[in-house]
């Protein structure tokens, strides 16, 4: 399975593969043409309330990860999308695009781990 993370603002080369925006809000300053998306998967993003609570605070990351995975596990839409993306990733590179500045403490890391887990 090939799933990679890429910050959309750093994506100058337009990395090949199946490109999915995984943010609930469209990234500022990025045109749809430049993004070259195959999909915008809002159903895989954290809820607005969880996202606002976390506020990219590294001290809250472990608790955020737990809460976000719980949201994903409880969402039928997210579980369905997970199966779909796991199938795509068997034959193609899946590129998860996100906008967060902090590359170590963000929802994309949690989502990638969840997608790669076979449960």
- Secondary element (H or E) of residue 57: none
Contact indicator for 8, 99 with CB cutoff of 8 Å: yes
Over residues 63-84, the mean pLDDT reads 95
- pLDDT given at position 59: 95
pLDDT band at 11 (very low <50, low <70, confident <90, very high): low
Q: What is the pTM of this model?
A: 0.90
For 42-62, how does the pLDDT look when each residue is reduced to its tens digit (9 = 90+)?
Answer: 999 999 999 999 998 999 999
How far apart are the C-alpha atoms of 76 and 59, rounded to whole Å? Answer: 29
Q: What is the mean pLDDT of residues 24-48?
A: 92
Distance of CA 49 to the CA centre of its chain: 17
């Amino acid at each position: 399975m090939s799933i990679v993370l890429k910050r959309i603002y750093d994506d100058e080369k337009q990395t090949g593969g199946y490109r999915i925006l995984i943010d609930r809000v469209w990234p500022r300053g990025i045109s749809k043409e430049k993004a070259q998306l195959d999909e915008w998967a809002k159903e895989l993003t954290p809820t607005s309330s969880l996202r606002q609570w976390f506020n990219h605070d590294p001290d809250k990351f472990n608790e955020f990860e737990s809460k976000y995975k719980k949201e994903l596990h409880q969402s039928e839409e997210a579980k369905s999308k997970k199966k779909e993306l796991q199938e795509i990733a068997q034959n193609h590179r899946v590129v998860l695009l996100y906008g967060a500045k902090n590359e170590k403490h963000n929802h994309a890391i949690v989502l990638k781990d969840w997608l790669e887990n076979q449960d």
